[in-house]
Amino acid sequence: MPQNEVPDIVVARLPIYLRVLNHLLAEGRQITSSQELGDRLGISSAQIRKDLSHFGEFGKQGTGYNVAYLREQLRRILHVDREWRMVLIGVGDLGQALLHYQRFDEHGFHIVAVFDNDPAKIGTVIAGHRVHSMDELADIVREQKVEIGILAVPPSAAREVAARLIELGVKALLNYAPITLTVPPDVRVQYVDPVAQLQHMTYYRGAEYENGNRER
């Protein structure tokens, strides 16, 4: 099925399925079922089968799924069976935490260069990465063939940084700044906003308080 015909919410669940398949392989499992996957993830088995059906047939009724095969198929569908080169913009507290996050490399996402506009940070080395001036952005993005930009900058700088990356041909942005970016149709933006996620949870928790259920 063409990419634009697959609902985005389905694509968003594929990494979750991939994660549980990795856990199953680590446990030495060879076969699983949509029921088991659903039980582990809190998703109905019917939903899992429907999601996977967008991309083909991966299991047999009465037999289930071969864990290793299904994992490799999901890796192929998500295009994580290759390496992706990224730049990180902003090395404040959040940016430095991201530089120390080892799971990027484990999953094929490699930060190849780091940038900041603070003279006190430029030239320093953080987690093995030398911090470059934003003046070097264009040359390094082109030389390193960067495909993904991570924005760990203040909201006031996010739009300008995103525009510069897009001008340089970067089509995928992971934005940690709490601001919505306006980008061309061929540019994909994913937002990571912990405060928004907390507010999402408190909607439900607060409703419990209002209904008199105040157990913690």
**Are 179 and 89 members of one domain?**
yes
pLDDT band, very low/low/confident/very high, at 212 (cuts 50, 70, 90): low
Cβ neighbours of residue 216 closer than 8 Å, sequence gap 6 or more: none
Query: 90 lies in which domain range?
Result: 84-195
**Residue (of 11, 74, 61) closest to 35 by Cα position:** 61
**Are 73 and 159 members of one domain?**
no
pLDDT band, very low/low/confident/very high, at 184 (cuts 50, 70, 90): very high
Pick the last residue of a domain from 60, 77, 94: 77
Domain count, the chain: 2
- Tell me the whole-structure pTM to 2 decimals: 0.88
**Are 62 and 104 members of one domain?**
no
**Are 53 and 122 members of one domain?**
no
Cross-strand partners of 116: 133
Q: What angle do CA 1, 84, 75 make, to 5 degrees?
A: 40
**Residue (of 86, 200, 102, 82) closest to 152 by Cα position:** 86
**Are 157 and 177 members of one domain?**
yes
pLDDT band, very low/low/confident/very high, at 208 (cuts 50, 70, 90): low
Cβ neighbours of residue 113 closer than 8 Å, sequence gap 6 or more: 87, 88, 129, 132, 140, 141, 144, 146
Pick the last residue of a domain from 77, 110, 137: 77
Q: For the chain, what is the total number of helices (H) and then of strands (E)? A: 9, 10
pLDDT band, very low/low/confident/very high, at 3 (cuts 50, 70, 90): low
pLDDT at 26 over 70: yes
**Are 164 and 179 members of one domain?**
yes
Q: For the segment 128-182, what is each residue's pLDDT rounded down to a tens digit?
A: 999 999 999 999 999 999 999 999 999 999 999 999 999 999 999 999 999 999 9
Q: For the segment 69-79, what is each residue's pLDDT rounded down to a tens digit?
A: 999 999 999 99
CATH code, domain with 180: 3.40.50.720
**Are 165 and 99 members of one domain?**
yes
- Look at residue 206 in the predicted model and tell me its pLDDT: 77
**Are 26 and 115 members of one domain?**
no
Residue 212 lies in a domain: no
**Are 73 and 102 members of one domain?**
no
pLDDT at 209 over 70: no
Residue 65 lies in a domain: yes
**Are 73 and 100 members of one domain?**
no
